[in-house]
Structure 1
């Protein structure tokens, strides 16, 4: 339900003309908060009793919002036009977005109201809230699709199923495995998604005996975060890790250079062997490794 303050209710009921602007609150997965407005000047409004400032950012347009009764998942499509002067941290907005910085971000759309441009902002209404589902961009324009939080209801029921592979998410409370990491440097670069690496074995936490499990098996499916170079601070999922060759699931947003350092948080292939030998976590394994394999019945 959309609620408004007493002052805003009074303004909406008594004024024939209003000034209305959009305000966007974007919270990235790392906790960074970005606040932009569609107005030509910064907008300071009270949200939940807290004075909040929305700055002038990129040119933002959006589709219309519809309100329906039920559990239909609505979406908001934002089109952002910006040059390299608009940044997230020190990285231009477009490059940061296509490299995954906005993935999974929470977006809230507020509408701020005032009697005119010379008077103060009376209040805001929350018009949409959701999570970034898709990002695509070109040279100077970015399109972001945001699904509202009803998409969280689209969950498999029952949540757990009988299968050989583990059903837990690595490092969550059900898994309870200790986080393992490796650090290394880039030795040579083939593409922005593929490069040769050198892993610092002295700084690699091997946990218990790795036995038949190679380091590449657990680095595959992990998360690689650059700690130096142009991509410093950005994290990319690892698609494969063969020998010393790392292949990312998507290209890095900026150029990778020889000597760039990184940290890899290990992944898991959901088998009981990795759970036991690598993480010493067999007691918390979330799968059923001895469940019979599917068989085909053939009439005779």
Structure 2
């Protein structure tokens, strides 16, 4: 490219960050905002990438992005709450001398999803995992006595219609929440809770136990819960064969090996 062959370059680093809930922001290391592909990339001089490692081999591409926390774009509370986990990040460079909407040439530097995030001293560091990071994942499942499918997914095949309910929060103290809907005893244990509205809007949580109108969450909500907040409750499963067959009538799709001898077979003895 011509902009890389000149003795004096006028390059500006840019980031496009797309969260899983659809929120998309643009940031640039330039000293003024840049409008690129219809998205305004806000000036964020504190943003800086580390050395980018890319190769032709099978090693995963890695990169760290560090920057100062900005309440208007990326805040500490949202980072710690997990809003940015798994967000898709594209890093590229453009010639900032181009017109306000004219950046035909760009240098693609990296792409991936946000992995581990750490916050310290008013600044954050995010690990960017490239596409080749998926090569480190197991390609074959390990055996397990519990089901490895998730309730309602394409392997489980349980119809989730009628197994979701919308309710409003009546009260919430730490991990114990009361809603305005009567729930079947234990049906929502191991299920999910999605927040619609309020400070936790867009986040998800896991349900540890349910009984009547009371839920016990596995972890406290990231932000204060307002009375009247709308939530969606999704049934759960303890992933045992007994529950799969008795409660869901779905033993044919059970994805586990409850009767397969384990590694402790040789250490068993009569009467154990």
TM-score calculated relative to the size of structure 2: 0.81
Distance 1:153-1:112 versus aligned 2 partners, 3 A rule = same
Equivalent residue for 2:156?
175
- Say if 2:171 is the partner of 1:198: no
Residue aligning to 2:85: 103
1:124 counterpart (74, 91, 106): 106
Q: Say if 2:158 and 2:250, in contact at 8 Å, map to a contact too.
A: yes
Give the conservation status (yes or no) of the 8 Å contact 1:25–1:36: yes
Aligned length: 262
Which sections of structure 2, spanning at least 5 residues, go unmatched? none
Deviation at 1:102, TM superposition (A): 0.8
Instruction: Give the Cα–Cα distance (whole angstroms) in 1 for the partners of residues 119 and 130 of structure 2.
Output: 21
Task: Map 1:150-169 onto structure 2 (within 5 A).
Answer: 150-157=132-139, 159-169=140-150
Contiguous gaps of at least 5 residues in structure 1: 1-8, 46-50, 207-213
RMSD: 2.9
Change in 2 beyond 3 A, CA 1:100/1:60: same
User: Match for 2:29 among 5, 13, 38?
Assistant: 38
Question: CA deviation digits over 1:213-236, x for unaligned, max 9?
Answer: x42xx5333321122432233222
Matched residues in 1 for 2:226 and 2:134: separation?
A: 39
2: CA distance, partners of 1:112 / 1:188? 51
1:19-58 to 2 correspondence within 5 Å? 19-45=10-36, 51-56=37-42, 58=44
- Residue 256 of structure 2 is aligned to residue 281 of structure 1: no
Does 2:269 correspond to 1:296? no
CA distance in 2, matches of 1:11, 1:67: 22
Quick one: distance in 1 between partners of 2:10 and 2:248? Answer: 58
Any idea what SS the aligned residue of 1:111 has?
Answer: strand
Tell me what 2:209 maps to: 241
Contact map agreement 1:83 1:140 (CA 8 A) in 2: no
The CA distance in 2 between the partners of 1:186 and 1:118, in whole Å, is 50
Trace 1:61-76 onto structure 2 (pairs within 5 A): 61-76=48-63
Q: TM-score, normalised by structure 1?
A: 0.74
- Equivalent residue, structure 1, for 2:200: 231
Name the counterpart of 1:209.
none
